[in-house]
A and B are shown apart, each in its own frame.
Chain A
């Protein structure tokens, strides 16, 4: 065994990497439950790649056969139903995990200097993920697949001058059809997965260059012992390998409980309307995107003017990109920020969740007013950040983790 290692190390920097990224890479010892979600994201993504690969072996990406091929996967292929449910449940779980992961960053100021690039790359990943999910959703070629594809591609017509030609170019035809399905399949299976791997690599590299943040927002590199090791950190291996492993196993309990006992997710993972083959001549009663895209779609829905609605919907996730520069607070963690930041975070969260849920509410004038207020509150909590973070009263965190000030 040792011989193999020596042989390998002469040809690839395995021992160097093992030291610099595992046994001698120091991570703050106080990372809590919220810090598991990055690892969970990798886990779910790996499951998506593997289940997706197997599904690709049996799925036919043509308008006439797509729906039937999925039924064949569900009924004829051995454990095809399991592959399908892992993939569809995985998509929803991936978004759940990513939202928790982003919430952690918001809570502890992980986007602040020197981690702005980690944040930007992460937001790029979020955008890629939404695109991947959109393309993937079209592939079963159900009613919702076709109509969602139609509505979303139509949004591009709002771009001046080139809008209408752009829509036809994206679709490969005047309407969503075989051409669109083929190219969405190619993008979903090849282009975006490759881009995801690349950007995840950069995201992790940027993170490991500066090290993880922690719930106290303290920099552990500031206090090192006589050997140059951070006193408030522990090596990634074995401490966080072991902790992430435990977290992943518990996560998988929930994941597989859903896969085996409730893969429809109460109609939120597999929507009932999508069990009907796509019919361009019959509009579904409620066209709505999957739950994870719902807040943004709601913004589109409640703004009365089409162009303004589309631009605002597009701005809603983009404004997150500006967070490292909107946040002027001298402290990172919400534990030490002032009361205004805490209120603003609550407003941000509640309005986002409310926007997501309002797709299910009846469309009365009251809910319309409330939803528009939520849109306003959502943007305000971001745009006012430079002011309330600069002028609020904050506390300073202790010098050491577990210390007192």
Chain B
């Protein structure tokens, strides 16, 4: 009996909110390297603060409202070609693997306006914002950013995992009870199939 309780506790633990630390780091990466051009229009600063355990945003008195970029859309068209897309749902649209390959896929190409091209998205309009970083730091920041983008695409993902376990366990318990009921009701019926 004690073993089962412990197991249940372990099960529920593994679905607890993962790494607020990692998400905070990812948010930092986003703000440093991405928010100059990309918005997260479906996220709000207040919700971000609550979910990630942030009490304040360093360097700012107060941030409110949807996370938008300061880049004017009209200028973006002239400078980059395609307008830098909103990234709130990018992780659900492309998936983690695509994003990873994209972020790691920049290479030098003198023929392009910004001097870089990308294996995953040929002839893209985006410059390599992490070009100045050494590879190790770059890898780490990309991992943090990916975790953050996955969170942005679906903020309640961990909550739904946590909620799912008790729901399914309850239904399994109910199934046992219903099975007993069914057996007791049908026991008198000779049931050759």
Q: Are A249 and B171 in contact (CB under 8 A)?
A: yes
Residues of B close to A256: CB separation below 8 A: 164, 167-168, 171
Stretch of A13-21, A150-158, A239-247, A344-352 on the interface side: A239-247
Flag whether B182 is at the interface (Cβ < 8 A). Answer: yes
Q: Are A260 and B93 in contact (CB under 8 A)?
A: no
How long is the Cα–Cα vector from A74 to B179 in the complex, in angstroms? 36
Enumerate chain A interface residues (CB-CB to B < 8 A): 29-30, 32, 68, 71, 74-75, 81-82, 85, 215, 234, 238-239, 242-243, 245-246, 249-250, 252-253, 256-257, 259-261, 263-264, 270, 272-273, 275-276, 401-402
Give residues 90-116 of B contacting A (CB, 8 Å). 92-95
Residues of B close to A85: CB separation below 8 A: 160
Give residues 172-191 of B contacting A (CB, 8 Å). 172, 174-175, 178-179, 181-182, 185-186, 189-191
Flag whether B42 is at the interface (Cβ < 8 A). Answer: yes
* Per-residue contact bits, chain B 10-44, to A (CB 8 Å; 1 contact, 0 not): 00000000000000000000000000000000110
Complex partner residue of A243 from B94, B153, B186, CB under 8 angstroms:
B186
- Pick 7 A–B contacts, CB within 8 A, sort by A: A29-B189, A81-B154, A242-B185, A242-B186, A275-B92, A275-B93, A402-B192
Complex partner residue of A257 from B154, B164, B179, CB under 8 angstroms:
B164
Flag whether B155 is at the interface (Cβ < 8 A). Answer: yes
CB-CB under 8 A for A276 and B93, given A75-B42, A243-B182, A243-B186: yes
Residues of B close to A81: CB separation below 8 A: 154, 156, 160
CB-CB under 8 A for A249 and B164, given A239-B189, A275-B92, A402-B190: no
**Seed contacts A249-B178, A259-B164; 9 additional CB < 8 Å A-B pairs:** A215-B193, A238-B185, A242-B181, A256-B164, A260-B160, A260-B168, A261-B160, A272-B95, A402-B191
Q: Most chain-A CB neighbours within 10 Å: which of B47, B95, B167? A: B167
How long is the Cα–Cα vector from A75 to B46 in the complex, in angstroms? 12
* Per-residue contact bits, chain B 64-95, to A (CB 8 Å; 1 contact, 0 not): 00000000000000000000000011001111
CB-CB under 8 A for A32 and B193, given A253-B168, A256-B164, A260-B163: yes
Flag whether B161 is at the interface (Cβ < 8 A). Answer: yes
How long is the Cα–Cα vector from A134 to B157 in the complex, in angstroms? 27
Majority secondary structure of chain A interface residues (helix, strand, loop or mixed): helix
For the complex formed, measure the closest distance between the CB of B192 and the CB atoms of chain A, giving whole angstroms: 3
How long is the Cα–Cα vector from A238 to B43 in the complex, in angstroms? 52
Q: Are A257 and B182 in contact (CB under 8 A)?
A: no
For the complex formed, measure the closest distance between the CB of A216 and the CB atoms of chain B, giving whole angstroms: 9
Chain A residue, CB-CB nearest to B162? A260
For the complex formed, measure the closest distance between the CB of B131 and the CB atoms of chain A, giving whole angstroms: 28
Q: Are A253 and B171 in contact (CB under 8 A)?
A: yes
CB-CB under 8 A for A82 and B167, given A239-B189, A249-B178: no
Residues of B close to A257: CB separation below 8 A: 164, 168
Residues of A close to B92: CB separation below 8 A: 264, 270, 272, 275
How long is the Cα–Cα vector from A219 to B43 in the complex, in angstroms? 62
How long is the Cα–Cα vector from A82 to B160 in the complex, in angstroms? 8
How long is the Cα–Cα vector from A261 to B160 in the complex, in angstroms? 7
Chain A residue, CB-CB nearest to B192? A402
How long is the Cα–Cα vector from A402 to B193 in the complex, in angstroms? 6
Q: Are A234 and B189 in contact (CB under 8 A)?
A: yes
Chain A residue, CB-CB nearest to B163? A260
Residues of B close to A74: CB separation below 8 A: 154, 156
Q: Are A261 and B178 in contact (CB under 8 A)?
A: no
For the complex formed, measure the closest distance between the CB of A371 and the CB atoms of chain B, giving whole angstroms: 27
Residues of A close to B155: CB separation below 8 A: 75
Residues of A close to B160: CB separation below 8 A: 81-82, 85, 260-261, 263
How long is the Cα–Cα vector from A68 to B86 in the complex, in angstroms? 13
For the complex formed, measure the closest distance between the CB of A107 and the CB atoms of chain B, giving whole angstroms: 14
